[in-house]
A and B are shown apart, each in its own frame.
Chain A
Amino acid sequence: GAVVSQHPSRVICKSGTSVKIECRSLDFQATTMFWYRQFPKQSLMLMATSNEGSKATYEQGVEKDKFLINHASLTLSTLTVTSAHPEDSSFYICSARDLETGELFFGEGSRLTVL
């Protein structure tokens, strides 16, 4: 079946550094990918919609300069958390929409811990 891979699955960084998380669709092409953030025991909150070849669309309240999204190819979107702080520690999950079938698939998530 279709697989969405996220890398890294876990990352620990120091406050003030930037962290990049990759989201890859392994056996399908995706013009649209979504990035979610999930705090412990909470729901998935949509951060932004990533569109291949164009700028991401951010949800209200999400700082686009802090959470940089790049969707440079039909199989890869990246989320960069710039100047990370402890409050950015969270579980980041991406999803990708299959260009041919329209089905939506989720990645396994990336846990970010900022010290």
Chain B
Amino acid sequence: GENVEQHPSTLSVQEGDSAVIKCTYSDSASNYFPWYKQELGKGPQLIIDIRSNVGEKKDQRIAVTLNKTAKHFSLHITETQPEDSAVYFCAASRGNQGGKLIFGQGTELSVKP
């Protein structure tokens, strides 16, 4: 089955700096790669996603890149703010599995003012 590895497990940056979180996946049939932000005691919230027919997607300060050949994808947050502090999870799924997501281990991002 699918296995998703996420690094780093913790990341501390200064406000205004960029943050990059990387994930690799094992199942070459995976074609959907969302990123979630989870605040303490809450459910995960989708922040950006990318499908396998696209190499990069950007939404304001957040961008995701996908390298299908290497089977890895990354989340980039620019101009980080203290409110970006949270746990971020990457995930992968096959389109024919109706939304069954396999999550990475999570990255605890801390943005220091």
Q: Which residues of A contact B (CB under 8 A)?
A: 4, 6, 32, 34, 41-46, 49, 93, 95, 97, 102, 104, 106-109, 111
Contact = CB atoms under 8 A, between A and B. Distances in A.
Interface string B4-45: 000000000000000000000000000000101000011111
A95 B99 contact: yes
Contacts of B104: 43
12 contacts: A4-B43, A6-B43, A41-B106, A43-B89, A44-B89, A93-B43, A93-B44, A95-B99, A106-B43, A106-B46, A109-B41, A111-B41
A32 B99 contact: yes
A46 B99 contact: no
A15 B28 CA distance: 43
A34 B44 CA distance: 13
- The DSSP consensus for interface residues of chain A is strand
B106 A46 contact: no
A88 to B, nearest CB: 18
Contact of B100 (A6, A34, A108): A34
Interface of B: 34, 36, 41-46, 89, 98-106
A46 B44 contact: no
A45 B105 CA distance: 10
Contacts of A102: 99
Nearest to B104: A43
Contacts of B102: 46
A63 B42 CA distance: 25
Given A42-B106, A43-B104, A43-B105, A108 B42 contact: yes
A51 to B, nearest CB: 9
Nearest to A60: B1
B43 A34 contact: no
Given A93-B44, A108-B43, A49 B103 contact: no
Given A43-B89, A43-B105, A44-B89, A106 B44 contact: yes
